[in-house]
Structure 1
Amino acid sequence: MSIVIDESALENMQMLLGEQFEDTVHFCCSEFERLASELMLSLNHDQEAAIRHAHSLKSNAAQFGASSLSDLAKTLEHALIQNDQGVVDNAIQELSSQVVGSKSKLEQWLSVKT
């Protein structure tokens, strides 16, 4: 799955946040990592927590234009709710590369736009 960043979402957040935008993007990127890690840790022993972390990751990523990461987190959230282990396993294999790739593209975008 390729890494997709919605630049219009980023531009909207930049207008909304002003000078706090850059720090907020950096914080958001660390949240991607934290939420993905928490999701992985809760997968086999706390289904509700895993669903909550997938939901938070989905929302957080969407808000800052990390579309492909948000889509993957949405897939994970729904698969966890439906107990579809095959989809969960496939999505989990993709999660780390989506987090790393999205973070990298957001930081690259920041270096050009700020």
Structure 2
Amino acid sequence: MQLADYNAEKQNELIVTDNGAELVSVNFASSHRFQRNLDGAVRHELVVEAKAWNGLDSKQGWSFKKTLNVPRCVKTTTTVPPVQTTTPVPTTTPSTPTPSQVVTWPTSSKAVSQLVRP
């Protein structure tokens, strides 16, 4: 914030609070600049009060007290650590043939020779 063009014959005053805590209380001559970075994860109620030595009745607007409500602007997120998953490695086991898959080969030499002959 910046206050400018105040009458510098005497001291003027600026008071700024944030959620009730004083950020600045300073006397200045004709101008003063105030800047502060605030935590965006919380809401702020800023009260700015300027007191001009020659305008304490506030008719001219040099002395004022204003409240500014600023909602939080940063969304907080919860970080969840990654879950490690394991994919089971398929194991191969010899399959047992079902009875319909069983082929019986003749074991006698006569039966084998009959299978081989055209």
Q: TM-score category by the smaller chain? A: under 0.3
Higher helix share: 1
TM-score (norm 1): 0.24
Bigger fraction of residues in strand: 2
The structure with higher relative contact order (CA 8 Å, sep 6+) is 1
Greater Rg by CA: 2
Q: TM-score, normalization: structure 2?
A: 0.24
